[in-house]
Chains A and B, each alone.
Chain A
Amino acid sequence: GAGVSQSPSNKVTEKGKDVELRCDPISGHTALYWYRQSLGQGLEFLIYFQGNSAPDKSGLPSDRFSAERTGGSVSTLTIQRTQQEDSAVYLCASSQQGNYEQYFGPGTRLTVT
């Protein structure tokens, strides 16, 4: 079946602009995660959604970052007033409730100039 998809695959933006990154999880997966992969920092957890519960936002690095998940499926990660240090690959993952493997999308490479 279809895996996790993310769009766009690449995004170049100017410092100070807002960006939106999209994630389509695997159908039927109730849990959705966002991670950031940057050089020298490895993979960092950003935010986690599980069903209709309040999201775990403990990994968001600043209030410029936010995410929502509509209808328990598609999620959008928004970065406001982008900074150069936001340049990274943003990865989305989903998992079935009660299952432990997270399935990752191909990522969105964000470059802030």
Chain B
Amino acid sequence: AQSVAQPEDQVNVAEGNPLTVKCTYSVSGNPYLFWYVQYPNRGLQFLLKYITGDNLVKGSYGFEAEFNKSQTSFHLKKPSALVSDSALYFCAVRDRQAGTALIFGKGTTLSVSS
């Protein structure tokens, strides 16, 4: 069965510091991987995706993520956090062979302090 784990419910960082939001996945085949962000009372916004190719993926708002097949991870990173990055972040996976619905992690709340 497909699954996604976000081991941290909350991540706290100071503005200007690098941030990492962790994600590991389990699929039977090769995965498509995604990160979404949700601001309060808003829908989910697409940040970035890994489909194939370069393991380092760059996305919106300066975020990037690295696909690591051996560790089955897809951690979200940003070199310098902003207070405005504070939001709820979801990692999602789709098995290439198992249909198109996304399987989401439980979400990680990122809090960036000034």
Contact = CB atoms under 8 A, between A and B. Distances in A.
A104 B92 CA distance: 14
A6 B51 CA distance: 29
A77 interface: no
Interface in B62-114: 90, 92, 94, 99-107
A102 interface: yes
B22 interface: no
B106 A48 contact: no
A71 interface: no
Interface of B: 32, 34, 36, 41-46, 49, 51, 90, 92, 94, 99-107
A26 interface: no
B59 to A, nearest CB: 10
A67 B49 CA distance: 28
Nearest to B105: A42
A48 B49 contact: no
Contact of B104 (A4, A43, A50, A101): A43
Contacts of A59: 101
Contacts of A107: 43
19 contacts: A4-B43, A33-B102, A42-B106, A43-B90, A43-B102, A45-B101, A45-B102, A45-B103, A50-B100, A56-B99, A58-B99, A58-B101, A59-B101, A91-B43, A95-B100, A100-B32, A100-B51, A103-B46, A106-B41
The dominant DSSP class at the A interface is strand
A4 to B, nearest CB: 7
Contacts, number: 55
Nearest to A48: B101
Given A43-B90, A100-B94, A48 B104 contact: no
The 6 A-B residue pairs with the shortest CB-CB distance, nearest first, are A43-B104, A45-B101, A104-B43, A104-B44, A42-B106, A106-B43
A79 interface: no
Given A48-B99, A95-B100, A102-B102, 6 more contacts: A4-B43, A33-B101, A35-B104, A43-B90, A45-B102, A100-B49
A101 B71 CA distance: 24
- Most A C-beta atoms less than 10 A away, residue of B44, B90, B94, B99: B44
